[in-house]
């Protein structure tokens, strides 16, 4: 029955938010602008950018242009992946972002990248996790698998949605994957849960994939961020301030 | 010192759209440090570009000890000035900083890294203007002086967006004699005649009250014999004022002026001889002062110096180091006593005041 769910219909029912606007907004950002030296000339960024470290967390105040940087990096990663096999998943958090919106957006982007056969496999993997295995499926045809029913399924509890996203992402393990998530601090609802889910997703991808590249950013400290400690992190001007006292 | 702003070499140095070096060369006592301080204090007002520029400075000083003669300290001080004024320079430091950071130990900056950072800053990729003011290169540690001079010259050779304007003062020393198009030179003794003239007039007329006929002669005499050495004129002022305190005719004052040695070293020797003619107590106090200043591990504060003087020299003398008995031995008006017993050879510098050997004393001792 799951196989009968049409791609267009499935994508339409996802609560995905179009992220294109964020990508195009700062295309004119100059990589060589000294304003952005704190990141683009930082040796930790270079390590991450050359795929020698899988995850980088950027932390800085609003006026240091972190969203512009995220946007630029999305574009650069897209340019890079268009040259080789790979895809970029990105999400710019807002005050209205929820775990469901995030997962649906990621899934939408992911499926859009895939060839038709793998698109179907991803939807199947996603839905299979969400359907309660204890209850046998009683749908006979697609009409019975109504929009209302499908919506209900894809708006499952958060823990299930994270599992389902992981399962869907497993459909394509060969290609390079870049993930950029900007503005973790903007998420107002379930922020600690969101961070935790994200950390588990990243940990899962690191185990399953060869070299995923993950960039996380926040403008300020976020609830539950202690689980991100240990990641390669560039905090705006922190190291320079530390250095000044040691000169 | 306003002549500086209009000087051809200075203007060429300033207006060239490239990194370059302005060398202010001068004899001891010709006012190099005073000029460097004057330049630093007035730069922002005089150069419209300086407001958006980085200004870093270091004043080498032999008499202030290792802290002020060491090239590592010069580099650290200059790099600190740069990094505090412009955060975008941080990436030049980052790798070296991490290499220097050793867990559990105090951070030690390798000298080589500091030089590399400064060189890297000279190649900064964006349009920036930096002023490096380095005073008294001749007073720096001579071990690596040539290499430091070489490094500064190398920075000036770079054709990058970043313009480094190096203002360097020194006596003639090895390594600085090499001339290049990136170096502009001002010899201070050729330029400070007007400053010396103004200074001489400022005390010959108002303070000594010399009438105009002798005033001109005395001024000419001083300007001619100063040979660009400002400190000589300063000493002349002090001895003339002291001589005239008991009253003297204009002829006596002028004759006394002519009797002053024109060579600085001879002048110092004469001052020492005058100190030796003082009362025995003054001589003993003077000797003790010189010992304390020259052999102290670090410069003593005025209060420390006052207490150190109160300790008897005789090891067997009865001495109770209690506040009440000690209080009676402390000299009141210590500053006056230092001038009286130490002549021009001791100097109180800074606030609250640290006692240092003057350049005159170091010069005399070679």
Q: Average pLDDT of chain A?
A: 85
Please give the average per-residue pLDDT across B232-245, as a whole number.
85
Q: B91 and A32: CB-CB below 8 Å?
A: no
Residue A26: predicted pLDDT: 60
Residues B217, B292, single domain; the answer is no
Q: Quick check: B178 pLDDT over 90?
A: no
In this complex, which of A32, A42, A247 lies closest to B79 when CB atoms are compared?
A: A247
Out of A88-92, A168-172, B158-162, pick the least confident: B158-162
Q: B83 and A41: CB-CB below 8 Å?
A: no
CA distance B88 to chain A (A): 6
Please give the average per-residue pLDDT across B53-82, as a whole number.
93
Q: What is the CATH number of the domain that holds B128?
A: 3.40.50
Percent of chain A with pLDDT over 90: 43
H helix or E strand, kind and range, residue A232:
strand A232-235
- Taking the Cβ of residue B96 and every Cβ of chain A, the question of whether any pair is shorter than 8 Å is answered with no
Q: Quick check: A6 pLDDT over 60?
A: yes
Q: Which chain B positions have a beta carbon within 8 Å of A243's beta carbon? A: 83, 90, 93, 97
Structural domain includes residue B273: no
Please give the average per-residue pLDDT across B20-27, as a whole number.
93
Summarised one tens digit per residue, pLDDT across range A20-43 is 777 666 666 777 889 999 999 999
Which tokens belong to B191? 């330029």
B204: pLDDT confidence band, cut at 50, 70 and 90?
confident
Residues B186, B197, single domain; the answer is no
Summarised one tens digit per residue, pLDDT across range A91-120 is 999 998 999 999 999 999 999 989 888 999
Q: Average pLDDT of chain B?
A: 88
Residues B110, B155, single domain; the answer is yes
A1: pLDDT confidence band, cut at 50, 70 and 90?
low
Cis peptide before B352 (omega within 30 of 0): yes
Q: A243 and B125: CB-CB below 8 Å?
A: no
Structural domain includes residue B266: no
Residue of higher predicted confidence among A107 and B321: A107
Q: Which chain A positions have a beta carbon within 8 Å of B94's beta carbon? A: 42-43, 239
B356 touches B349 (CB < 8 A): yes
Residues B139, B180, single domain; the answer is yes
User: What is the SS3 string spanning chain B?
Assistant: CCHHHHCHHHHHHHHCCCCEEEEEECCCCCCHHHHHHHHHHHHHHHCHHHHHCEEEEEECCHHHCHHHCCHHHHHHHHHHHHHHHCHHHHHHHHHHHHHHCCCCCCCCCCHHHHHHHHHHHHCCCCCEEEEEEEECHHHCCCCCHHHHHHHHHHHHHCCCCEEEEEEEEECCCCCCCCCCCCEEEEEHHHHCHHHHHHHHHHHHCCCCCCCHHHHHHHHHHHHHHHCCCHHHHHHHHHHHHHHHCCCCCHHHHHHHHHHCCCCHHHHHHHHHHHHHCCCHHHHHHHHHHHHHHHHCCCCEEHHHHHHHHHCCCCCCCCCCCCHHHHHCCCCCCHHHHHHHHHCCCEEEECCCCEEEECHHHHHHHC
Residue B365: predicted pLDDT: 79
Q: B126 and A42: CB-CB below 8 Å?
A: no
Residues B62, B168, single domain; the answer is yes
Q: Quick check: A124 pLDDT over 80?
A: yes
B312: pLDDT confidence band, cut at 50, 70 and 90?
confident
Residue of higher predicted confidence among B80 and A225: B80
Q: Which chain B positions have a beta carbon within 8 Å of A244's beta carbon? A: 80, 83-84
Q: Domain range spanning residue B338?
A: 278-365
Q: Sort B331 into a burial class: Cβ within 10 Å, 0-12 / 13-18 / 19+.
A: middle
Q: By CA distance, what is B77's nearest residue in A?
A: A247
Please give the average per-residue pLDDT across A130-158, as a whole number.
69
In this complex, which of A240, A246, A247 lies closest to B87 when CB atoms are compared?
A: A240
Structural domain includes residue B267: no
Q: B94 and A247: CB-CB below 8 Å?
A: no
Please give the average per-residue pLDDT across B102-108, as a whole number.
83
State the residue for tokens 């006979």.
Answer: A140
Last residue of a domain, one of B190, B218, B244: B190
Residue A143: predicted pLDDT: 54
Residues B168, B215, single domain; the answer is no
Residue A139: predicted pLDDT: 46
- Taking the Cβ of residue B129 and every Cβ of chain A, the question of whether any pair is shorter than 8 Å is answered with no
Q: B93 and A243: CB-CB below 8 Å?
A: yes
Q: Which of A102, A34, A23 shows the shortest CA–CA distance to A68? A: A23
Considering just the CA atoms, what is the radius of gyration of chain A in Å? Answer: 19
State the residue for tokens 């950027």.
Answer: A58
User: What total number of domains does chain B contain?
Assistant: 3
Q: By CA distance, what is B74's nearest residue in A?
A: A247
Residues B252, B303, single domain; the answer is no
A161: pLDDT confidence band, cut at 50, 70 and 90?
very high
Q: Quick check: B145 pLDDT over 80?
A: yes
Residues B177, B247, single domain; the answer is no
Q: Where do the domains of chain A lie, and which CATH numbers do they carry?
A: 2-244 (3.40.50)
Residues B175, B42, single domain; the answer is yes
Structural domain includes residue B159: yes
Structural domain includes residue B268: no
- Taking the Cβ of residue A239 and every Cβ of chain B, the question of whether any pair is shorter than 8 Å is answered with yes
Q: B90 and A243: CB-CB below 8 Å?
A: yes
State the residue for tokens 């300790």.
Answer: B311
Structural domain includes residue B314: yes
Residue of higher predicted confidence among B90 and B106: B90
Residue B84 vs residues A35, A238, B79: alpha-carbon distances, Å? 16, 13, 8
Q: Which chain A positions have a beta carbon within 8 Å of B88's beta carbon? A: 34-35, 37-38
Distance of CA A28 to the CA centre of its chain: 23
Structural domain includes residue B272: no
Summarised one tens digit per residue, pLDDT across range A201-220 is 999 998 887 678 999 999 87
On the CB side of A44, CA atoms within 13 Å amount to: 18
Residues B17, B148, single domain; the answer is yes
Q: Which of B239, B204, B238, B240 shows the shortest CA–CA distance to B219? A: B204
- Taking the Cβ of residue B106 and every Cβ of chain A, the question of whether any pair is shorter than 8 Å is answered with no
CA distance A36 to chain B (A): 8
pTM attached to this predicted model: 0.83
Burial B141-175 (b: 16+ CB within 10 A, else e): beebbeebbebbbebbebebebbbbbbbbbbebeb
Q: What is the CATH number of the domain that holds B316?
A: 1.10.10
In this complex, which of B76, B79, B91 lies closest to A41 when CB atoms are compared?
A: B91
- Say what the ipTM of the complex is: 0.84
In this complex, which of B76, B88, B98 lies closest to A247 when CB atoms are compared?
A: B76
A222: pLDDT confidence band, cut at 50, 70 and 90?
confident
Q: By CA distance, what is A39's nearest residue in B?
A: B91
Q: Which of A164, A8, A237, A201 shows the shortest CA–CA distance to A89? A: A201
Q: Quick check: A134 pLDDT over 50?
A: no
**How many Cβ atoms from other residues are within 10 Å of residue B76's Cβ?**
18
**How many Cβ atoms from other residues are within 10 Å of residue B31's Cβ?**
27
Residue A145: predicted pLDDT: 67
Last residue of a domain, one of B190, B205, B229: B190
Q: Which of B226, B224, B220 shows the shortest CA–CA distance to B267? A: B226
Residues B98, B184, single domain; the answer is yes
Residues B317, B179, single domain; the answer is no
Q: Quick check: B229 pLDDT over 60?
A: yes
Percent of chain B with pLDDT over 90: 39
Residue A66 vs residues A54, A136, A187, B91: alpha-carbon distances, Å? 19, 48, 16, 18
A135: pLDDT confidence band, cut at 50, 70 and 90?
low
Which tokens belong to B107? 């951070």
Last residue of a domain, one of B260, B288, B303: B260
Structural domain includes residue B31: yes
B308: pLDDT confidence band, cut at 50, 70 and 90?
confident
- Is residue A1 classed as helix, strand or coil in its secondary structure? coil
Contacts of A113 (CB under 8 A, 6+ apart): A87, A172
Q: Which chain A positions have a beta carbon within 8 Å of B58's beta carbon? A: none
Residue A23: predicted pLDDT: 66
> What is d(CA B132, CA B197) in angstroms, rounded to the nearest whole number?
30
B88 touches B126 (CB < 8 A): yes
């Amino acid at each position: 029955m799951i196989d009968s769910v049409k791609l267009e219909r499935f994508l339409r029912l996802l609560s995905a938010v179009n992220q294109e606007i964020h990508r195009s907004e700062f295309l004119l950002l100059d990589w060589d602008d000294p304003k952005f030296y704190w990141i683009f000339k930082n040796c930790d960024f270079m390590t991450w950018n050359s795929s020698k470290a899988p995850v980088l967390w950027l932390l800085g105040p609003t006026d240091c242009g972190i969203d512009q940087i995220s946007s630029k990096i999305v574009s650069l990663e897209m340019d890079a992946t268009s040259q080789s096999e790979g895809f970029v998943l990105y999400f710019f958090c807002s005050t209205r972002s929820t775990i469901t919106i995030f997962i649906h957006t990621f899934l939408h982007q992911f499926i859009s990248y895939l060839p038709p056969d793998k698109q179907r496999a991803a939807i199947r993997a996603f839905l299979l996790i969400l359907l309660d295995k204890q209850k046998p499926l009683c749908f006979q045809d697609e009409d019975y698998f109504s929009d209302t029913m499908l919506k209900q399924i894809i708006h499952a509890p958060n823990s299930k949605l994270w599992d389902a996203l992981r399962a869907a992402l497993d459909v394509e393990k060969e290609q390079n994957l870049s993930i950029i998530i900007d503005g973790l601090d903007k998420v107002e609802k379930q922020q600690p849960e969101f961070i935790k889910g994200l950390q588990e997703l990243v940990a899962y991808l690191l185990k399953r994939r060869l070299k995923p590249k993950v960039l996380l950013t926040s403008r300020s400290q976020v609830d539950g961020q202690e689980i991100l400690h240990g990641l390669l992190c560039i905090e705006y001007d922190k190291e320079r301030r530390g250095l000044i006292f040691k000169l | 010192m306003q002549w500086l702003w209009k000087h051809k070499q200075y203007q060429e140095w300033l207006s060239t759209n490239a990194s370059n070096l302005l060398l202010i060369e001068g004899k001891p006592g010709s006012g190099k440090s005073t000029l460097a301080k004057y330049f630093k204090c007035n730069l922002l007002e005089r150069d419209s570009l300086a407001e958006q520029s980085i200004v870093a400075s270091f004043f080498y000083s032999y008499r202030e000890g290792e802290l002020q003669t060491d090239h590592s300290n010069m580099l650290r001080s200059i790099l600190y000035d740069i990094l505090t004024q412009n955060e975008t320079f941080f990436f030049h430091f980052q790798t070296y900083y991490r290499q220097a950071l050793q867990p559990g130990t105090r951070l030690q900056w390798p000298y080589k890294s500091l030089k590399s950072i400064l060189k890297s800053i000279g190649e900064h990729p964006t349009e920036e203007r930096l002023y490096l003011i380095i005073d008294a290169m001749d007073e720096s540690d001579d071990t690596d002086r040539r290499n430091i001079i070489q490094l500064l010259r190398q920075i000036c050779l770079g054709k990058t967006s970043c313009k480094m304007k190096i203002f360097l003062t020194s006596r003639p020393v090895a390594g600085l004699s090499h001339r290049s198009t990136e170096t502009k030179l001002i010899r201070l003794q050729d330029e400070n005649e007007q400053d010396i003239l103004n200074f001489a007039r400022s005390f010959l007329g108002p303070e000594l009250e010399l009438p105009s006929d002798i005033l001109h002669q005395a001024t000419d005499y001083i300007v001619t014999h100063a040979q660009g050495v400002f400190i000589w004129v300063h000493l002349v002022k002090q001895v003339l004022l002291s001589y005239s305190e008991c009253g003297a005719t204009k002829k006596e004052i002028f004759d006394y002026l002519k009797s002053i040695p024109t060579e600085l070293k001879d002048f110092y020797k004469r001052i020492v001889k005058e100190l030796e003619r003082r009362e025995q107590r003054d001589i003993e106090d003077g000797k003790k002062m010189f010992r304390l200043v020259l052999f102290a591990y670090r410069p003593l504060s005025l209060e420390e110096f006052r207490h150190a003087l109160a300790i008897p020299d005789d090891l067997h003398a009865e001495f109770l180091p209690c506040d009440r008995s000690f209080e009676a031995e402390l000299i009141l008006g210590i500053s006056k006593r230092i001038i009286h017993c130490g002549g021009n050879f001791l100097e109180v510098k800074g606030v609250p005041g640290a006692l240092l050997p003057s350049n005159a004393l170091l010069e005399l001792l070679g």
